[in-house]
Amino acid sequence: MINLDTPIVFNDSLPQEVDVVIIGGGVIGIFSALNIARSGRSVMVIEKGRIAGEQSSRNWGWIRQHGRDAAELPIMMEATRLWESIDQEVKGRTGFKRVGVMYLSQTEAAQAQRETWLSTAAAHGVDTVALSSTQLKQYIQLDKQSKNPWVGATFTASDARAEPWQAIPAVAELAHSEGVLIKENCAVRSLDIEAGKITGVITEAGPLKASQVIVAGGAWSSLFLRRHGINIPQLSVRASVARTAPLESITTTSFADKQLAVRRRNDGGYSLALTDSHDHFIGPDSFRLLPKWIKTGLQNIHEIRPWINEVPHSPDAWRMARHWHADEITPFELTRVLDPAPAKGKVKVMQQRFAERFPHIGEPKILDAWAGMIDAMPDIVPIVDRVPDLEGLIVATGMSGHGFGIGPAFGKIVAQIVNNDKSQHDLSRFRFSRFSDGSRLNIGPNI
């Protein structure tokens, strides 16, 4: 995991001008920069903390087509191919492996629900299949003395995994070698706007001229945009993850059921996470955005644990500054890396649930645990679009926990938007205006 103790790698000086500035050095920002540079434009990534310091290095590491929103699926299919290609370019440093993703069912009703997605997969040529409880034994080593806890599953063999904490820095090094300028530990304080057009940004290190700016700031995007009167209904949830000591192999396939997610790591251990428990820290935006979120909240009421926000300097903290001048220290400088503590009680639950499923192994030893803040939109798909009322501004945020896997393809799409090139994908689902144009909220699959 990457945090504030991680040494600064990229510290390019600000030039006078570039074609494009990217705010945020996570998976979306880095892949966008690489594709923009390859299109022949000059680009600089400015990151307030460390490259991939927040959710981009703290996620599960799944590269998943399985269960995707139908509008995301073609993009995710391309992303999987791009991950394989980029891994070759960085000589295997992303940890990419095609190992499959499986969703397991503990009841017949749950299995029937899982299988409804098979028609979406078939329509796009994805190799998802249904598995019986007997067929599961081909993929997961179960205790012969214990009852199989699952009645069936759906499985996509072409899905993959990678190691987030090493993947994005490796791609950043590749982008840097191809001319992308990158500056860590430098906050963008505000946009520079003249006559309704972007003319650059103001950073803590000084101004930088650019005709286009991409906001790819993850959980911080909404706070930054609101300072300029641009509103998006983005909220965040905390997700905790644990890393086990090396264990005997139970599977190479990444899998999840309604309570537990498991991914084999390249170090011989497993990454564990709860699938039925995320934490939302209640702040001012929780109330301001309630009308946009109430349908989604009710649909996921059993999975979201509300807490009064006591995380200092987090994006929606009660005392967080929401207005500031460009010559003032900003929230982004006060929190270089958003590093929430993992929920220790949940880590214990992960161990217990693992032992329930694999009693011959028991509770695994936990070497490390961490948490990240997932930036989400009410319909569980991102905004990737130009801002209609401000020429030169592009927003790519609200990845809703899907950003790591889909990042290479959305990075390519962002570059196409910058160049005014037509995408092969239908991007209407991700338009900026969908929360204000009277459209019906269409909630995507939250898996």
Q: How far apart are CA 396 and CA 444, in angstroms?
A: 18
Q: Which of 278, 233, 277 is nearest to 381 (CA)?
A: 233
Q: What pLDDT sits at residue 78?
A: 98
What average pLDDT does range 300-312 have in this prediction? 80
| CATH, domain range 20-435 | 3.50.50.60
Percent of the chain whose pLDDT exceeds 70: 99
Q: Is the pLDDT of residue 128 over 80?
A: yes
Please say whether the beta carbons of 286 and 378 come within 8 A. Answer: no
Tell me the per-residue pLDDT of 133-188, one tens digit each, with 9 for 90 and over. Answer: 999 999 999 887 777 899 999 999 999 999 999 999 999 999 999 999 999 999 99
pLDDT greater than 80 at residue 83: yes
Q: Please state the pTM of the whole predicted model.
A: 0.97
pLDDT of residue 190: 98
Q: Taking Cα atoms as reference points, which of 394, 406, 371, 374 lies closest to residue 28? A: 406
pLDDT bracket for residue 447 (50, 70, 90): low
pLDDT, tens only, 240-274: 999 999 999 999 999 999 999 999 999 999 999 99
Backbone φ and ψ of 276, nearest 5°: -115, 20
Instruction: Write the pLDDT tens digit of every residue in 313-341.
Output: 789 999 899 999 999 999 999 999 999 99
Q: Which candidate, 223, 237, 224, places its Cα nearest to that of 376?
A: 237
What is the enclosing helix (H) or strand (E) of 109? Answer: helix 108-115
> Helix, strand, coil % (nearest 5) of the chain?
30, 25, 45
Report pLDDT digits (tens) over 185-237.
999 999 999 999 999 999 999 999 999 999 999 999 999 999 999 999 999 99
Averaged pLDDT of the chain: 95
